[in-house]
């Protein structure tokens, strides 16, 4: 498949891409793809630690914004923040969070705020699991070697 064709799915058939991307995998899936993180960091432990701190801090702030947007019944803000979280989570390698944020983005875009509350709750559970996983990995030693 050409890359043009791949992006064309987004341009011409959001539903097609959504169905391909919404698979969040089983709950026992590790919350982060460490191989992905290694590939992007080139094995730079210090960089990975800084990136983890930045991602956690940024996402905690964005979860607050999401709760505020949902409480204010602002579907547009829910969509916007979820879209941003999706990009950061995908780049970071948070393999279950990224598609959950995508679901929330779609719910916001389609004004389905009744579906946003359970999604936000699920996102918060998954984020807590990721946070715990990362803290344990950092405490245990090298992120570059854990689960290798």
Binding site for another protein (CB under 8 A): 1-4, 6-7, 10-14, 17-18, 21, 36, 39-42, 44, 47, 50-51, 54-55, 58, 80, 83-84, 86-88, 90-92, 98, 102, 105-106
Residues 6+ apart with CB under 8 A from 63: 120, 123, 124, 127
Q: How far is the C-alpha of 4 from the C-alpha of 135, rounded, in Å? A: 39
16 or 140: whose CB is closer to another protein?
16
Q: How far is the C-alpha of 13 from the C-alpha of 142, rounded, in Å? A: 42
50 or 145: whose CB is closer to another protein?
50
27 or 39: whose CB is closer to another protein?
39
Which residue from 114, 115, 110, 86 is spatially nearest to 100, judged by alpha carbons?
A: 86
Residue 52 Cβ, how far from another protein at the closest point, in Å? 10
């Amino acid at each position: 498949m050409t890359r043009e064709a791949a992006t064309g799915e987004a341009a011409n058939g959001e539903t097609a891409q959504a169905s391909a991307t919404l698979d969040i995998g089983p709950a026992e899936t590790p919350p982060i793809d460490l191989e992905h993180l290694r590939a992007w960091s080139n094995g730079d432990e210090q960089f990975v630690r800084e990136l983890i701190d930045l991602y956690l801090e940024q996402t905690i702030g964005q979860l607050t914004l999401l709760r505020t947007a949902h409480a204010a019944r602002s579907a547009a803000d829910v969509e916007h923040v979820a879209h941003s979280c999706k990009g950061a989570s995908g780049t970071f390698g948070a393999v279950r969070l990224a598609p959950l944020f995508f679901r929330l983005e779609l719910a916001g875009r389609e004004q389905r705020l009744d579906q946003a509350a359970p999604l936000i709750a699920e996102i918060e559970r998954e984020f807590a699991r990721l946070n715990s996983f990362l803290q344990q990995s950092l405490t245990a030693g090298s992120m570059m070697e854990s689960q290798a």
